């Protein structure tokens, strides 16, 4: 999480605290629920405090502003995906298996949960008009792209091709997640994953 942790914004809170049972973590988990249910425009410190069963004073103590809590919520989601990616690299040594697992983790981990899945669209919307949030989103995609490219390099041999296919795969995963969430193409999540797996194999064949 180095590049993310650097975005430190409060003397009384570090992103490390999100990884353990702590008051900041409890606040951030409540913020995720609030953002998911009410959207960015409906989130208030009061709403977060009620959900966390804490005073608004405690929230201000740790995060200073509501914007900082929301930002920490995005960091929390990104951290979760990053942990999933690390686990994939630890558990799988085969490159194709690693790629399949990286596809799957977008449809199985925390961020497809009822609480968190609707935070992502708020994150994107926020990134469109807030520089700090936009930078965070790019950090996440850069890291995901580089993980995909690393595994693809083993399969395709060539660095340039690996980065090209990583871009194609990244946009397909994003698009499939989106159309599954907001439309019925495809309705079933298992179908979404299967289509991406077939897509991966087609790309590997086309670029080998």
What are the DSSP calls for 64-108, one per residue?
Answer: SSHHHHHHHHHHHHHHHHHHHHHHHHHH--SHHHHHHHHHHHHHH
The CA–CA distances, whole Å, from 123 to 35, 117, 153 equal: 10, 11, 30
Choose which of 14, 55, 91, 171 interacts with its own copies (CB under 8 A): 171
Decide: is 165 part of the binding site for its own copies (CB under 8 A).
no
Least Å distance between CB 206 and its own copies?
Answer: 6
Nearer residue to its own copies within complex by CB, 14 or 185? 185
Q: How far apart are CA 122 and CA 90, in angstroms?
A: 31
Contact 69, 7 (CB under 8 A): no
Least Å distance between CB 74 and its own copies?
Answer: 13
Least Å distance between CB 179 and its own copies?
Answer: 4
Least Å distance between CB 123 and its own copies?
Answer: 8
Interacting stretch for its own copies, rule CB under 8 A, among 23-31, 79-87, 101-109, 128-136? Answer: 128-136
Q: How far apart are CA 203 and CA 187, in angstroms?
A: 24
Choose which of 52, 127, 155, 156 interacts with its own copies (CB under 8 A): 127
Nearer residue to its own copies within complex by CB, 77 or 127? 127
- Give, as ranges, the residues between 20 and 79 that touch its own copies (CB under 8 A): 36-42
Decide: is 122 part of the binding site for its own copies (CB under 8 A).
yes
Task: List, in order, residues 6 or more apart from 34 with CB less than 8 Å away.
Answer: 42, 43, 44, 47, 48, 51
Q: Is 171 exposed, middle or buried (0-12, 13-18, 19+ CB in 10 A)?
A: exposed
Nearer residue to its own copies within complex by CB, 16 or 188? 188
Which parts of this chain interact with its own copies (CB under 8 A)?
A: 36-42, 118, 121-122, 124-130, 134, 137-138, 141-142, 145, 166-168, 170-176, 178-186, 195, 199, 202, 206
């Amino acid at each position: 999480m180095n590049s993310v942790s650097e975005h430190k914004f409060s003397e009384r809170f570090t992103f490390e605290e999100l990884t353990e049972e702590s008051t900041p973590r409890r606040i951030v988990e409540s913020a995720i629920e609030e953002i998911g249910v009410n959207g960015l425009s409906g989130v208030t410190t009061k709403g977060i405090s009620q959900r966390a069963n804490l005073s608004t004073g405690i929230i201000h103590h740790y995060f200073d502003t509501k914007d900082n809590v929301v930002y920490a919520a995005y960091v929390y989601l990104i951290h979760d995906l990053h942990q999933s990616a690390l686990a994939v690299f630890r558990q799988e040594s085969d490159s194709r298996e690693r790629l399949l697992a990286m596809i799957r983790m977008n449809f199985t981990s925390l961020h497809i949960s009822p609480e968190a899945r609707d935070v992502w669209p708020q994150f994107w919307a926020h990134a469109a008009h807030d520089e700090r949030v936009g930078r965070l989103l790019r950090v996440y995609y850069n890291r995901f792209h580089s993980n995909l490219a690393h595994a693809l390099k083993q399969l395709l041999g060539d660095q340039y091709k690996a980065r090209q296919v990583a871009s194609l795969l990244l946009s397909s995963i994003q698009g499939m997640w989106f159309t599954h969430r907001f439309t019925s193409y495809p309705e079933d999540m298992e179908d979404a994953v299967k289509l991406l797996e077939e897509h991966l194999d087609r790309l590997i064949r086309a670029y080998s």
